[in-house]
Amino acid sequence: MTVKNRLWLEFSLFYLLSPALIAIFLPPRQMFPALFAFTALGLVLLAVTPRFHWARLLDGARNWNLREFLGFTLICILGFSALIYLLRPEAAFFLVADRPQLLGMIWLFYPFLSALPQELLFRVLFFRRYRIILPTGIGADVLNAAVFSFAHLMYWSWVVALITFVGSFVFSHAYRTRGSFLYAVLLHAIAGNLLFTVGMGVYFYSGNVVRPF
C-alpha cells in the first residue's frame, strides 16, 4: 500500500467512519465518552506524525488581526441571534436570564475543553498529517468544513450541520492562511461561547438528540 493510500484509509476511518458509528449506534448518553476516546486517538496520531513538534503550536501566535476578529465576533452575534429568534425564540438568551452561573462556566472552560482539542484534531492533525492528500487552497478549507460538519452528525440537525460547516471553513481558512493555531482556537472559542450565550446551545445538547430512525 502506498503512503497516500494508507493516509486516505486512515483519514476515512478517523474522520468519516468513526463519527458515523458514534452517530448511528451509540445512545446519546454514551456519545461524549466516545468523543473523548476519539479525541485521545487523534492526539496519538498527531503525536506520531512525522516532523510534528508540540512547540510548533506556538507558531504565528501574533499573526492575527484585531479588526478581523471583532468583525467575526459581530457576525457571530448577529447570525446566531437571527437564527435563534427565527427557529427557537423561546430559547433566546435563556442561559443569560436563567442560568448565568452555568454560562460563566461555559465561557471559562469551553475554550480549553472544547475549542482547543477540536482545533488540534480538525486543523493541526488535518493539515499536518494528511497534507499530501489534501486539495490546495480553498478546496482544503471546504473539505475541512465538510469533515468537521460530518463529525457533528450525532446531533442529527441541519442547523448544527450548517453552523459547524461555516464555522469550520472560517477556522480552517484562518489556520491555513495565518499559520496560527492559537488564532484558530481564539476564533473557535468566541464563536462557541457566543453560540451558547445567544441560546443556540440547545442544538448542541445531547439530551435533545432525536435520531431520524
What local confidence, expressed as pLDDT, does residue 171 receive?
A: 98
What local confidence, expressed as pLDDT, does residue 34 receive?
A: 84
What local confidence, expressed as pLDDT, does residue 26 receive?
A: 85
Digits of tens for pLDDT over the chain (213 positions)?
A: 899 999 999 999 999 999 999 999 988 778 788 889 999 999 999 999 999 999 999 999 989 989 999 999 999 999 999 999 999 999 999 999 999 999 999 999 999 999 999 999 999 999 999 999 999 999 999 999 999 999 999 999 999 999 999 999 999 999 999 999 999 999 999 999 999 999 999 999 887 888 888
pTM, full prediction: 0.95
Enumerate long-range contacts of 70-79, CB under 8 Å, 24 or more apart: 72/170, 72/187, 72/190, 72/191, 73/190, 73/194, 76/190, 76/191, 76/194, 76/195, 77/194, 77/198
Q: Is the distance from CB of 18 to CB of 154 less than 8 angstroms? A: no
CA distances from 169 to 46, 123, 172 (A): 21, 10, 5
Would you kindly state where each structural domain of the chain is located, as residue ranges? 3-208
Q: Is the distance from CB of 198 to CB of 92 less than 8 angstroms? A: yes
